[in-house]
Structures are given as structure tokens and as C-alpha cells.
Amino acid sequence: MSALLLSLASCVSPDRTKPISGQLSYRTVDTMGLIGDVVVVPGDPFQLNFYKGPGEPLLQVENSGVYGSASGSLAGPGWSGRVEKAPDQLATWLALRSAFNGPETGAARNPNQPSFTVDRDYDGSKLIGMTVAFVGTGEKFTFRFD
């Protein structure tokens, strides 16, 4: 019985070391919206690369849980340091680490980061989509994966 449960668990648990790619639609409460290509490595460290067209990085984020970094046009001059000291405009992007690796609802591991809800779509055991809505900021991330 435990072997069956372990087998079933492995079917719905994606390999967190492999990159997954697709499209990301990012919306703010002010109706600002961006759509572009995304590559995500959900593991440790969490990595997200968001592009608008070939070779135009809008944002590249890395989060180890303690330390993080961000670069690209959405990050302004760029940032690196302790996650709990991240600028407000990067808080939700860094909290995506918890959204990809945690339960459907909750707060990021850092209590200073906003709480969120997650809705995941699967085709069998393959993650094909995910929507992350941040409660306090109104930001919404909608992922569709290849």
C-alpha cells in the first residue's frame, strides 16, 4: 500500500530540477499587463526568466529561500540580498518560489511577503498551467506551460 502511495505521489510531483517553459501573463491591480515567454526552475534555488521576445529579458529572478536576486528592465537597477529585505516591487516575484513549491494557499515563507492562492492545472501528471493571485497586492500571474 505504501509503495502505491509513493508511486502516486511521484506522478503528481514534478521534477523540481528541470526547467519548465511556456507563457506568462502578469497583471497588476492597475490593469497593467504583460505577456511573454517564461522559463522556470522550481527547485532550490528557484529561478524564473521572463522574456518579451528573443533576447529581451524583462525579469530574471533567483531565490534560494534566504538570498535572492533580480535583474532586467522590470527590476530597475537590479537587486540582490536577503529576501526579506527585497524592494516591494519584487516581493511577489520572489514569493513565486513558495507558490511553485508549496500548497494551494498560504503565505510565502517570509512573513513580510504577501499571501497568495494557487490554482494548478494538470494533464495527467504534467503541470500545464498555474495561476497565482496575491491577496494584498492584487497581482496575478497566469502560467501556461508547453
Contacts of 76 (CB under 8 A, 6+ apart): 87, 89
The pLDDT tens digits of the residues spanning 3-24 come to 433 333 434 445 667 899 999 9
Q: What is the pLDDT of residue 44?
A: 87
State pTM to two decimals: 0.83
What DSSP element (H or E) covers 47? strand 46-51
Over residues 22-71, the pLDDT tens digits come to 999 999 988 678 999 999 999 889 999 999 887 778 999 999 989 999 99
Residue 111: per-residue pLDDT = 61
pLDDT of residue 67: 95
* Residue 110 phi, psi (nearest 5): -85, 120
The string of pLDDT tens digits covering residues 91-131 is 999 999 989 987 655 555 556 667 889 999 999 999 999 99
CB neighbour burial string for 30-48, b if at least 16 within 10 angstroms, e if fewer: eeeeeebbbebbbbeebbb
| CATH code of the region 17-145 | 2.50.20.10
Helix (H) or strand (E) holding 23: strand 20-27
Q: Is 123 exposed, middle or buried (0-12, 13-18, 19+ CB in 10 A)?
A: exposed
